[in-house]
């Protein structure tokens, strides 16, 4: 059976693979010689998120581990830390279990945009589709772009 061709570029696939394997996005971007902000913009795209989840599922299937296996391993480590009277290790273990179970609110990041970037964005908004395609063809290193505007304040 032929594999379905990915709708992501080669760079996007490589970035998704790295992030799915646990490499921090900034490290993956540096390893791939791409700008960190470009990597974060690419990772914000829904298609990238879906691909990362697919890759993580594949990694978990290949490794034979499930989330419950990881939690059980952490519980064993917590019990060992308890025997060794190491409360900080116990807390760290429970914190990880809490994260895995979704007991913590997701971490929110705010990216400040400079006036120069705002002007550039306004320039881009004024361009016609033909002008945008011409610029994209000239640049060539754009992975993917998805913008969401957050209310200020």
Residue-wise pLDDT tens digits, 117-146: 778 888 888 888 888 777 777 765 555 556
Q: Is residue 118 in some structural domain? A: no
17 plus 54 within the same structural domain: yes
If phi > 0 it is left, if psi is from -120 to 50 it is alpha, else beta; for residue 46 that is alpha
50 plus 90 within the same structural domain: no
User: Considering the entire predicted model, what is its pTM?
Assistant: 0.45
Q: Is residue 93 in some structural domain? A: yes
Residues contacting residue 21 through CB under 8 Å, at least 6 positions apart: 55, 59
Q: Is residue 143 in some structural domain? A: no
What is the average pLDDT across 66-91?
Answer: 93
53 plus 76 within the same structural domain: no
60 plus 81 within the same structural domain: no
Question: What is the rounded CA–CA span in Å between residue 149 and residue 135?
Answer: 23
The residue segments making up the domain with residue 56 are 9-64
77 plus 40 within the same structural domain: no
């Amino acid at each position: 059976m032929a594999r379905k061709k990915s709708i992501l570029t080669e760079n996007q696939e490589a970035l998704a693979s790295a992030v799915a394997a646990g490499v921090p996005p900034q490290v993956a971007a540096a390893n791939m010689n791409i700008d960190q902000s470009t990597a974060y913009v690419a990772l914000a795209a829904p298609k990238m998120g879906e691909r990362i989840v697919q890759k993580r599922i594949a990694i978990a299937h290949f490794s034979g581990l499930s989330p419950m296996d990881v939690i059980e391993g952490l519980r064993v480590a917590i019990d060992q830390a308890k025997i060794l009277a190491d409360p900080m290790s116990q807390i760290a273990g429970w914190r990880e279990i809490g994260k895995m179970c979704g007991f913590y609110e997701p971490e929110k990041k705010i990216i400040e945009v400079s006036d120069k970037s705002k002007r550039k964005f306004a320039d881009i908004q004024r361009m016609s589709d033909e002008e945008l395609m011409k610029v994209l063809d000239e640049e060539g290193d754009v992975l993917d772009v998805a913008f969401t505007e957050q209310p200020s304040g």
